Chain A
Amino acid sequence: MENWRRAWKRALSRYDLYLMLLLPVAWYVVFQYGPMYGVQIAFRDYIPVKGITGSDWVGFDNFDRFFSSYYFGRLLWNTVSISLLSLLIAFPIPILLALLVTEIRSQRFKKLLQNITYMPHFISVVVIVGMLQLFLDPKSGFVNLILNAFGFESVPFMESEGWFKTILVGSNIWQNMGWASIIYIAALSGINPHLYEAAMVDGASRLRRLWHISLPGITPIMIIMLILDVGAFMNVGFEKILLMQNDLNRGASDVIQTFIYNNGILQGDFSYSAAVGLFNSAINFTLLVLINGYARRKAETSLW
């Protein structure tokens, strides 16, 4: 009782801090926890005029419909394969770039490389996809003009299923490798210089120092970044995919999130697409918890 009263008094004496928190907390309640409450429409047959709780409860019907849908296999495969491709190729490149940057001895050259590689991060996705369309156009794009100059036929890159994932992941790397490398460059600059000196005395080459000192030095941050990426495994940067999508590449570009957009926002099938969305977030969250637990046990580095 006494403890409670003391806690209450403590809280009361800082009432102005809570006053400041009022608006932000209200925002979180409405725009973050509101949708979490609303996600129950995934288990209902949501009809807007009846409201969320007024709509009929249908259990797992919407999920059954999705799992048995013609598109389910394709959506899951596209989502998973794009994500795996990103993790395998796009994830390591910023690490390699950071190692490269720290190996450059000329400070000016180093700054130049960093400034140039950071730049594309600030370009909007719309512009990036617009650039892809211009560059890869079968008639006038410079990539196809070069192919023609070497005697090859034009390739309709943007209208092809086979090229879709390569173009998506490739342009993501182009845009984000520099920006994503910042965090590793910061971690590398925090490694104790004595370690390098000791290795040099032992006669270790630069490559060996990279392997035995630099890489282990940034392993914790690598693990954190990996956990964060795995926690968004199913999201696959779908805003860009949506912009790149057309009828000819749909077989490779239809992912779960674009399916939600098409069915939910465009066609108004709210309950069904909310169920698909919940399936998506549930997988993300499960993967996050699993990999975080694994990293904590095996590498003693984790988000929580």
Chain B
Amino acid sequence: MVNQQTIVTRRRSASVAGERVFDFIVYAIAGLIMLIVLYPLLFVLSASFSDPVRVMNGDLWLLPVGFTLDAYKEIFRYDAVWTGYRNTLLYTGVGTIINVTMTTLAAYPLSRRDLPGRRILMFLITFTMFFNGGMIPTYLVVKNLHLVDTMWAMIVPTAIATYNLIVMRTYFQNSIPWELQEASMIDGCTNTRLLLHIILPLSKPIIAVMVLFYAVNQWNAFFNALIYLRDDALYPLQLVLREILIVSQSSYLDSSGSTFGMTEKLLLAESIKYGLIIIASIPVIMMYPFVQKHFVKGVMIGSIKE
């Protein structure tokens, strides 16, 4: 693009002014978009460190006003939040391992062009992306398997995401030379060995993408918890958040041994909500700068059509 642009400016000096205006508009819109996206996020961050009275008076614009850590101190007392955090870590950890294993086990054989029945299997798998039994019949299956009110309800029904399976299969097909696989087969290598010792070491980028896609999904999952979990000892963080942020269950905010009085607590409730948003989003936001290029790669591979 850049040298095309220089050619143009050399050739047509008359249009330079037009180019300038165009550039100006592009940068102005881009700046505005960044502002719109960033402002709410920064506001939450600042509000969580601010004096709730001043936030409610509208004193907060960008930087914290009346800096305080009270909200975070209070959050640290809530057992429900930490139980939720622990559950979410567990579901995300175990869930992601199962997700990636199952997806690999499906994607590799289906990437093999010498697999008899591959087309029909792919059709039956892809079909589920566009038609499925729906919420109620799925719920009944999970219920009849006695998974309701166990941690497995958060993991097993979402063990494979078909979209991810297709992305991984596309990677295996396009990025690993078929000749390599054939050569190993001729050398008498079994498929298990081939997968473990040749394919997987060559597939680190796609495995990273899968781990990230699935982990973020597990971390943010709330709907399955809402329909499958009754026991609040099993609640993942998102469900606890829902109770506090949206349903505004003040009972969750009732923790004995709090150092704050009733009115202070009502005020603090707002700051606590801001603080909770930060605490719940921190793992994802912190890893974001390091992993975002993997995510983007995942989307790109997904866009390759056969």
Q: Which residues of A contact B (CB under 8 A)?
A: 7, 10-11, 14, 16-18, 20-21, 23-25, 27-28, 30-39, 41, 97, 100-105, 109, 112-113, 115-120, 122-127, 129-131, 133-135, 139-140, 142, 145-146, 148-149, 174, 178-179, 182-183, 186-187, 193, 196-197, 200, 203, 205-207, 221, 224, 231, 239, 242-243, 257, 260-261, 264-265, 270, 273-274, 277-278, 280-281, 284-285, 288
Contact = CB atoms under 8 A, between A and B. Distances in A.
Contacts of A187: 303
Contacts of B133: 32, 34-39, 277
A280 B242 CA distance: 27
Interface in B126-153: 128, 130-141, 145
B179 interface: no
Given A20-B191, A100-B33, A139-B56, 8 more contacts: A21-B105, A21-B110, A34-B137, A37-B133, A101-B30, A130-B245, A261-B227, A281-B131
Interface in B1-50: 1-2, 4-5, 7-8, 11-12, 15, 18-19, 22-23, 26-27, 29-30, 33-34, 36-38, 40-41, 43-44, 47
Contacts of B8: 200
Contact of B115 (A14, A38, A102, A112): A14
Contact of B138 (A20, A35, A120, A129): A35
B114 interface: yes
Contacts of B246: 126, 129-130, 133, 243
Interface string B283-295: 0110011001001
A277 B135 contact: yes
A296 to B, nearest CB: 14
A134 B270 contact: yes
Interface stretch (B69-77, B156-164, B170-178, B255-263): B156-164
A124 B26 contact: no
A104 B26 contact: yes
A245 to B, nearest CB: 10
Contacts of B238: 124, 126
A289 B15 CA distance: 47
Given A122-B216, A130-B273, A265-B227, A24 B134 contact: no
B119 interface: no
B37 A120 contact: yes
B241 A28 contact: no
A210 B283 CA distance: 39
Interface of A is mostly: helix
Contacts of A205: 15, 18, 22
Nearest to B1: A105
A249 to B, nearest CB: 13
Instruction: Name the residue in B60, B134, B141, B305 with the highest tally of chain A Cβ atoms < 10 Å from its Cβ.
Output: B134
B60 A25 contact: no
Contacts of B195: 20
Contact of B23 (A97, A105, A197, A261): A105
Contacts of A33: 124, 128
Nearest to A118: B292
B220 A124 contact: yes
A100 B30 contact: yes
A197 B2 CA distance: 12
A100 B26 contact: yes
Contact of B288 (A35, A104, A119, A146): A119
> What 7 pairs across the A-B complex have the smallest Cβ distances?
A35-B133, A130-B245, A277-B134, A24-B106, A38-B137, A124-B220, A35-B137
B260 to A, nearest CB: 18
Nearest to A134: B273
